[in-house]
Amino acid sequence: MNNSKQTNQHLELKEAPSTKNLHLLDVNLLLKAIFSLALSIFLFSCGSKQVETNEEQAFIAELLGKMTLEEKIGQLHQITSQWNMTGPAPEYAQGHEEKLKSGLVGSMLNVIGAEATLNAQKLVVENSRLGIPLIFGYDVIHGYRTMFPVPLGEASSWDPETVKLSASIAALESAAAGLHWTFAPMMDVGRDARWGRVMEGAGEDPYLASLLSAARVRGFQGESLADEKTIAACAKHFAGYAFAESGKDYNNVDISNATLHNVILPPFKASTEAGAATYMNSFNTIQGLPASANEYIQRQLLKGDWGFDGFVVSDWNSIGEMVAHGAAADLKEAAKLAIQAGSDMDMEGNAYTNFLAELVEEGTVDIKIIDDAVRRVLTIKYRLGLFEDPYKYSNKEWEKNTLYSLGNKSAARKVARESIVLLKNEGKKLPINESIKSIAVIGPLADDKDAPLGNWRADAVANSAVSVLEGVKARAGNNVTINYAKGCDLVTSERSFAGEVQFNTTDRSGFAAAVAAAKKSEIVLLAIGEDCYQSGEGRSQADIGLKGLQMELFDAIYAVNPNIVIVLMNGRPLAIPELDAKAPAILETWFLGSEAGNAIADVLFGDHNPSGKLPMTFPRSNGQIPIYYNHMNTGRPGPKNEVFWSHYTDQTNAPLYPFGFGLSYTDFEYTNLTVDSSNPASIQVSVSLKNTGSVTGTEVVQLYIRDKIASLVRPVKELKGFQKVTLKSGESKDLTFVLTEKELGFYDNDGKYKVEDGEFEVMVGTNSADLLNATFLLNTATVQ
């Protein structure tokens, strides 16, 4: 890609016959050269980073000084595309076109493709007075054209480098398609599997979510936003979105300060420290205010205490929705509340473009607040290099050679393998024995090439995923007979992002063929779970069990061939106690993306030994929700042989599968847990791990702590470290963890971090339930 050639074209296009029509960008290079020369002696002894920072600030200050109030507000206005931008605007979209030409729009979303983004950018740069380029955003959640596992699935890898790899390729493809900015990662810590958007996050634990969210940010943004192969990340949703009451999307949130600071905010803080360029606020109320009007979290905490210097964008019309919340009388008041609270850019709300100028002119909103918001937006555009070359991302040849490449698909297969969790393997049904010569592949999702792409699939091509059937056939070869039968449909409605999912509850016409296939096969692979649009935004469910006729199909097959391996596809934890009770083997595959079938076959046949661990608890029933491992003890924790303790009378308190759970084709033994607390500033925790099985395997060794007595009640256990270790059969390894004040403290109700002396329990093991434990006393007075 020849940036210098494109830049020259840009400058030529902006030449005008009259100097009064010159755009500011025509003289940017000259201004920057003069400024750089004037400061060169003064800044000579400073590092290059300081020089760049001063150049950035001076450039933006100069540009800001040239802008009218209307142009400033335009930079805070984001609109969605109303036409594909590859041709002239239709009549209904001409109002949008005029705003773009007038420089009254700062950002667009849903404009994708090198050609479309190039045309849209030219519309603004070549027609508006100052030629300030647009920033193009899009929901690139788990891949752009090449799909990776949904984020909850990727979190099962417990591997920041795997997550970073996925994000970096998503960024590469997005940038090649002309995009600058993704509305990801979502780092809402989620405890309620009914909430459909758990598929976009990293699960229920703030420690794991912090590490993986920061890795996503680094993957999207690389070493520099100026690199044309990276895009700006967006930390969302700020804050508390996943704590929506009853798991209903967009519902209200009512939480304690302790939960806010210790559970919800840590992944956001970690993402800020990783350099997240932007933030998105959330739809919900928090502390009695809609998040977009919450000055404490946006202006005081994020932009103040944390030093965040990027910009905050609203979620889709979340500013306008303040009126429905009852927090604002009308859109004008909503605009005032949002801008004062620190919401910099209005996504599709039209609150800012309609009312900010009026609010400033009447003295209700200080112009300094507007300038701060605009400065933040311009800063990210500057760091992306858009002022030097607004067209740097829009190269059709680069797009053609990058999207869905063999290398990208190979990476997708690798990440997908790492995301699979083995939940059950009675009688070692897996891996499939090489002596088996007939396999039944059955189920509504078995030959589905679309469901594995998942929800929020960006620009994926429909029906482009490798299906389970295709992956199994390719791996099994010609010497194994594959008997396929669908069995039944999961849904009856046509699959679409916007449509409601309608489940099949009556058509059993395919059962007979499925039973026949099972009868003549040695082993059955049954692919069931969720439709891809069953989870995601707006897809909350009161019942997270298997829908439609799937359990009935399972029972029919089980009756003739109980040698069944369940291939479970889903975007959230499912309540499947009946399935767990009968099926000898269950493989959790989530929605794995473009290479799903190949990755699943890799695990089924033992070419890859699964090492995934659950990032979210699986409940036994809907009635247990929300259920999570790091809960507080009550005054009556039990268990007791009486009625009056905290429990259900019709079900155990224990989950079906706990947080951190995941089996392997080999076995691991934990021994010799020791704690050295002689140096309170660096507590040493050691444990021995041995592979006692017959094959090489990878184990995620997990460390949890409990602060037993504290000024605020602490959870029964909290994840504070993990190591991913690969051992050959019979091999042992001694592992050491270090606990410092970073792991041993917590935030009080005022958001202040503290470490308190006292007794701690430390636990190490294979999941959050099966652990070795020891105790130590912390006495910080002895720290030198």
DSSP three-state, residue 587? strand
Spatial neighbors of 214 by CB under 8 A, at least 6 apart, are: 160, 267, 270, 271, 273, 274
Bridge partner list, 421: 588
Candidates 533, 513, 369; CA nearest to 455 is 533
Report, in this order, helix, strand and coil percent for the chain, each rounded to 5: 35, 20, 45
Bond before 133 cis per omega within 30 degrees: no
Cα–Cα distances (Å) from 359 to 72, 322, 366, in that order, read 14, 17, 8
Query: Is 315 among the residues known to form the active site?
Result: yes
Distance of alpha carbon 296 from alpha carbon 302, whole angstroms: 8
Distance of alpha carbon 646 from alpha carbon 379, whole angstroms: 53
DSSP three-state, residue 523? strand
Contact 485, 440 (CB under 8 A): yes
Alpha helices in 362-395 (DSSP H): 367-383
Token duo for residue 26: 């025509």
Q: Of the listed 159, 188, 315, 389, which one is catalytic?
A: 315
Count other Cβ atoms within 10 Å, centred on residue 156.
27
Pairing of strands 107-109, 135-138: parallel
Token duo for residue 261: 């600071």
Candidates 651, 740, 728, 678; CA nearest to 703 is 740
Cα–Cα distances (Å) from 613 to 174, 370, 634, 679, in that order, read 29, 46, 28, 32
E strands in 13-126 = 77-80, 107-109
Distance of alpha carbon 350 from alpha carbon 356, whole angstroms: 10
Cα–Cα distances (Å) from 360 to 72, 103, 289, 314, 776, in that order, read 12, 19, 23, 20, 59
User: What positions carry a catalytic annotation?
Assistant: 315
